[in-house]
Amino acid sequence: MAGGRAGVAHLRGPRLLSANAALSPADVKAALASEARALGFDSIGVTAPGVLADAGRHFRDFLEAGAHGDMNWLAAHPERRTDPRALWGDVRSIIMLGVNYGPDEDPLVILNERTRGAISVYAQGDDYHDLIKKRLKVLARWLVATSSCEVKVFVDTAAVMEKPLAQAAGVGWQGKHTNLVSRQFGSWLFLGAIFTTLELPQDEAEPDHCGSCRACLDICPTAAFPAPYKLDARRCISYLTIENKGPIRHEFRKAIGNRIYGCDDCLAVCPWNKFAQAGHEAKLAARDELRAPSLADLARLDNAAFRARFTKSPVKRIGRDRFLRNVLIAIGNSNDRALATEAERLANDSSPLVRGAAVWALSQLLEREEFLARAAKAIGAEVDEAVREEWQFATTLPEPQPEERR
């Protein structure tokens, strides 16, 4: 794999650099694309900073509807998202890059294994933020050394609208599920951006190729798409299991199934995935222990064990308590009476968030009389009001049908 120094050395060759000639913008762009491929980027395109007018209007409508939920960081400084020049006034070109992380198996198959947890494909390997940012910095240093420009790099952690910028740069298009789709890589691209003061030739925007297809909209378990190209994050399982810090709303708990971190349904069902290929980056590849982990094993994680298991994984950022909240929802949906033992133990956990989720799991797995007897004792002893409310609410739920339990 080539690094920044190798790329600069290549450009010192007689065909590109000489004492008397400078690279043209087109030459810089061609050399940049070559260097990006050598660094492991699978897609690259260039656009201008002033291309987000329509995307900006959609984003403001999204915020005004409150569809971002508790993601207050999205609502902070919206002008920086809708116009990159508000983020950095000197930017003249935006280089969008993609890394393929296509799975080597169907992400939907795990949903039938109800005693195992489904973790989103992107989170089964190392955290892509770290990997891609390092590569972006190498490529950016190469660009500075080559062209004496200024640069800034971004990977999903700043006020940058990566997906509409990637569409404007020809990397893919935003599908009806609002995620980026590539004709070459389907739904599976991590994105990064380099802002630069260089004036580089722009690529043509990628047109929409969704046609009349509704597969991504129709598969959503929680009806998170009020219309094509519109997402209500408050209903999205990825939001509910990752961004949401409190209890998961009752109306969504059954629909979550065994998804314990994120959801790939709308991505995995896209017909354009027939052209996709498995990712080639070893650090992004799924770890065996995260492909289909046992819910019983996950329920036994204390804080130290949680951090150890999810070292370098995006999962670690939500913390043990929120993760066990998700695991307990999946346990409640498992229909496996044997897992009630794990829920009973976690009903005494030090975290109110965990205890509350354990209550719901027990309400789904225990026989009704057994659950009501346990609730009668627990309500009086519980010190947290929210958890007491979980017990009280669970006593009003209809009893699960016998065929729903194993």
Rounded to whole angstroms, the Cα distance separating 101 from 278 reads 7
- Identify whether 208 is a catalytic site residue: no
Tokens of 192: 């990064």
Tokens linked to 79:
């002008």
Q: Which residues contact 186 (CB under 8 A, 6 or more apart)?
A: 102, 270, 272, 273, 274, 275, 276
Burial of 26 (0-12, 13-18, 19+ CB in 10 A): exposed
Out of 27, 156, 297, 336, pick the active-site residue.
156
User: Radius of gyration of the chain from Cα atoms?
Assistant: 24
Q: By C-alpha distance, which of 123, 66, 121 is closest to 323?
A: 123
Handedness of CA 343, 344, 350, 351 (dihedral sign): positive
Per-residue 3-state assignment (H helix, E strand, C coil) for 51-85? CCHHHHHHHHHHHHCCCCCCCHHHHCCHHHHHCHH
What is the C-alpha to C-alpha distance for residues 170 and 159, in angstroms, rounded to an integer? 21
Tokens of 36: 């990006």
Residue 226: count of CB within 10 angstroms of its CB: 12
Catalytic residues: 156
